[in-house]
Structure 1
Amino acid sequence: MPDLFDSPSSPSSASAGPRPLADRLRPQTLGQVIGQEQVLGPDAPLGAMLASGSLSSLVLWGPPGVGKTTIARLLADETDLHFVQISAIFTGVPELRKVFEAARMRRQNGKGTLLFVDEIHRFNKAQQDGFLPHMEDGTILLVGATTENPSFELNAALLSRAQVLILTRLNDADLERLAQRAEADLDRKLPLDAQARGQLINMADGDGRTLLNLIEQVAAWKTDKPLGTDALTSRLMKRATKYDKSGDEHYNLISALHKSVRGSDPDAALYWLARMLTGGEDPRYLARRIVRMAVEDIGLADPQAQHICIQAWETYERLGSPEGELALGQAVTYLALAPKSNAGYVAFKAAMAAAKQTGSEPPPRHILNAPTKLMKEQGFGTGYAYDHDAEDGFSGQNYFPDTMKRGIYYLPVDRGFERELKKRVDFFAGLRVKRQGGTN
């Protein structure tokens, strides 16, 4: 009788119907896995572990359909470990206890266990801690699979005991090899012309399992001649772009958009904006982040940039989608081509750090108001110089706390409008030295 959560029966076992193509083409050895050479190659981490016979617990991080489950199953075969698969979505603490107890009994009988945990990031931090003693005493060799960044989703104790291996989406060459393997299994070519075949691979979006499912549909079509792209797209719904508005992809793409703007590349910036919009991102979120880009990376080098972004946001609110999205695209284009300066951003962060460090230091008394007799007697406001009455409209007085050394936070760059502001900063700095008797 199989253990609880053991791997499904082998492909040779009786089934209720024909096996899906993706199951029939499942690799039987690691050498048959398509792609992931950066992990499986002879000099790659997993290849080196197997060569040295020192396989450790692993976390396989990558998008869907790139072979995480397959690699885990084949690792068990390569190392003669009993393969047990569970999903963090459907497994609770009582079931985990049964898994660990079965592994312990198996170990006493001389058989190790490779425990594959799909969606391991779904376990909370306390549940993740439950794996640690069983990993340390060798009861299980853990292989976790996740589509989310392990740095954020897995606790430090678990990560310190497992090596993270990054699996990548399959490229077009990998997918073409997979398509050829499918044709060999089907014993016929797909009824598609060259352009339609390329479109089919594009529709898979780097996901091998999706490609095989699409191929299975295409192979069932009855046609006298190869179909073109129009026929293909009319018969198959285009696969939705992988985009998780709360996951890694969300942060990866907004980072790509922000850095493209900062790097003055309007084409790349528009591309990433379009990727997020087509993925279903909230345009209001994008509008807010675009304003942030104007403040952080353009700043006073082009004061108009922030105004244009606010106008784009207001335009979107008035027009909605999809018309209002054009305004966001125009704002992104303007930001990418605007002169760049983070001087204001850096200055604000420096001022915040100084404020936290100096605590409750009061302003100098000469700039404090004195609305009461007592405050006047205490010297509040005494010696204050009204700048409008001073030469050049500048008194040069000290406005920092008396016990604090003057801070210099804003250092404008010699680009855009900040070139003019730099002249003003330098002008007032020179006057300050002159008015304060040679000190700054």
Structure 2
Amino acid sequence: MADLFDNTQDGAPVARPANRPLADRIRPARLSDVVGQEKLLGPEGPLGAMLAAGSLSSLILWGPPGVGKTTIARLLAQETERAFVQISAIFSGVADLRKVFDAAKLRFEQGRGTLLFVDEIHRFNKAQQDSFLPHMEDGTIMLVGATTENPSFELNAALLSRAQVVILDRLSLADLERLAQRAEQETGRALPLTAIARERLLEMADGDGRAALNLIEQVLSWKVTGKLDPEALSKRLMRRAAKYDKSGDEHYNLISALHKSVRGSDPDAALYWFARMLEGGEDPRFLARRLVRMAVEDIGLADPQAQTHALHAWETYERIGSPEGELALAQAVIYLALAPKSNAGYVAYKAARDLARRSGSQMPPAHILNAPTDLMKTQGYGAGYAYDHDAEDGFSGQNYFPDDMKRPVLYAPVERGFERELKKRVEWFSGLRSKRRGSDKT
């Protein structure tokens, strides 16, 4: 009957039904059994090293759903002989926290520690998060919080300073295959799938171990003859929707991947991330705006048509809508990815803004100031101005920076695309400027 009990709160055995879900039946009994997080739990990993040293601290487990956060917390409590208490930030309020802290304090006075596992800890507000601090500091509880959101954005600095953030990875196909083999061993049945269909099943889980086991349990319950191929599997199972939060980490992660793929001149990768965002329900208008930004920041004058192409794709989408308009955006993705790249204009703009902030209120040189009044003429406004159209080569070479400012170099075009031509022009004008200045001195 040992397998029907689970040591939970205060170590008291709690009976569990024999027909419990497969995911619960093969839940790891030791940290070494946890799949997919070896780099954290191994001897050289952060958790493994802390346990070996006997110096486990409060933790924030950050990772996607179904990668073992709850299981790891439970096993850490077992490993350190602490009472395991689990609450969810979704269903718990101030009164619930007070009861948990009071019980932990009583336990602490009796010589036993408490590992408090808080699922979805990022959903607690600032005051609720602050309520953990004194109990963490005096040793009443060891906090293990679980979150799918970036702790840097969602958790208080005070809480983060008292806990170590540990990042858990989504499970690979190899990890999910190990879970499948455990499930087959536990149930005594093999999945009735061909090798390719088996791989498709694991892909449907999208790196979520709990989802994988639920899918496996569903397939194992089918009464079929022979092995199902991918087509037969897809008729019986719907593909799990990819994880995507238009306002969360996935939004920022995927747009970063798209932007960097375009910058890296990889049209295939760029199209993939573009499609991932659309499949996740992203607003195509957001993607259209971002494409224009890519054209301005990463292509610039290396291909002056890139910005126009991105704007036209956006306009096309606005005129004809989805799904046809998304094709125009996809073609813009390809064009931008294959366009020559230069951020010289972007760098020059930022340098100019920085120089403008540092240079204060210096006046332009008097010779380029208009003199609409006699007083301004007597002050030398416009005196000595050389009209460029009258100069040799249509270029006077005069100074247009403040008199006391050393001439800076802000724009440095690259040897790519149309900027190769602009680089020639910059160098030509620079040579003429030096020549004219030399002749002025003689």
Which TM bucket (shorter chain)?
Answer: over 0.9
The CA distance in 1 between the partners of 2:94 and 2:52, in whole Å, is 35
The CA distance in 1 between the partners of 2:348 and 2:323, in whole Å, is 38
The CA distance in 2 between the partners of 1:305 and 1:381, in whole Å, is 40
The CA distance in 1 between the partners of 2:300 and 2:249, in whole Å, is 28
TM-score by structure 1 length?
Answer: 0.93
| Structure 1 spans left out of the alignment, 5+ residues | 1-5
Contact 1:305–1:334 (8 Å) recurs in 2? yes
C-alpha displacement of 1:438: 7.4
2:25 corresponds to: 24
Counterpart code for 2:373? T
Counterpart code for 2:166? L
The CA distance in 1 between the partners of 2:127 and 2:396, in whole Å, is 62
Tell me, yes or no, if structure 1 residue 67 matches structure 2 residue 39.
no
| Structure 2 spans left out of the alignment, 5+ residues | 1-7
The CA distance in 1 between the partners of 2:285 and 2:69, in whole Å, is 35
The CA distance in 2 between the partners of 1:426 and 1:126, in whole Å, is 61
The CA distance in 2 between the partners of 1:420 and 1:430, in whole Å, is 16
Contact 2:115–2:143 (8 Å) recurs in 1? yes
User: Which deviates more, 384-393 or 139-148?
Assistant: 384-393
Task: Look up the SS of the partner of 1:324 in the other structure.
Answer: helix
The CA distance in 2 between the partners of 1:116 and 1:56, in whole Å, is 13
Counterpart code for 1:163? Q
Tell me, yes or no, if structure 1 residue 33 matches structure 2 residue 46.
no
C-alpha displacement of 1:89: 2.3
CA deviation profile, 1:192-236 (whole Å, cap 9, x unmatched): 222211111010111011011112222222222222212211111
CA deviation profile, 1:325-375 (whole Å, cap 9, x unmatched): 222222121222221111001001101111121233332232222333443
The CA distance in 1 between the partners of 2:426 and 2:394, in whole Å, is 14
Tell me, yes or no, if structure 1 residue 116 matches structure 2 residue 124.
no
Counterpart code for 1:130? S
The CA distance in 1 between the partners of 2:369 and 2:133, in whole Å, is 61
The CA distance in 2 between the partners of 1:9 and 1:210, in whole Å, is 28
Contact 1:82–1:111 (8 Å) recurs in 2? yes
The CA distance in 2 between the partners of 1:111 and 1:438, in whole Å, is 89
CA deviation profile, 1:381-432 (whole Å, cap 9, x unmatched): 3332222122211122222223332221100011111111111111111222
Counterpart code for 1:124? N
The CA distance in 1 between the partners of 2:126 and 2:108, in whole Å, is 26
User: Which deviates more, 378-387 or 115-124?
Assistant: 378-387
Contact 1:433–1:439 (8 Å) recurs in 2? no
Q: How does 1:233-382 map to 2 (within 5 A)?
A: 233-382=234-383
1:162 corresponds to: 163
Counterpart code for 1:137? D
Tell me, yes or no, if structure 1 residue 128 matches structure 2 residue 129.
yes
* CA shift in 2, pair 1:286/1:439, >3 Å: farther
Aligned residues: 434
C-alpha displacement of 1:113: 0.7
1:211 corresponds to: 212
1:196 corresponds to: 197
The CA distance in 1 between the partners of 2:390 and 2:235, in whole Å, is 78
Tell me, yes or no, if structure 1 residue 395 matches structure 2 residue 388.
no
Q: How does 1:43-62 map to 2 (within 5 A)?
A: 43-62=44-63
User: Which deviates more, 202-211 or 142-151?
Assistant: 142-151
* CA shift in 2, pair 1:181/1:395, >3 Å: same
Task: Look up the SS of the partner of 1:143 in the other structure.
Answer: strand
The CA distance in 2 between the partners of 1:209 and 1:407, in whole Å, is 60
Percent identity between matched residues is 75
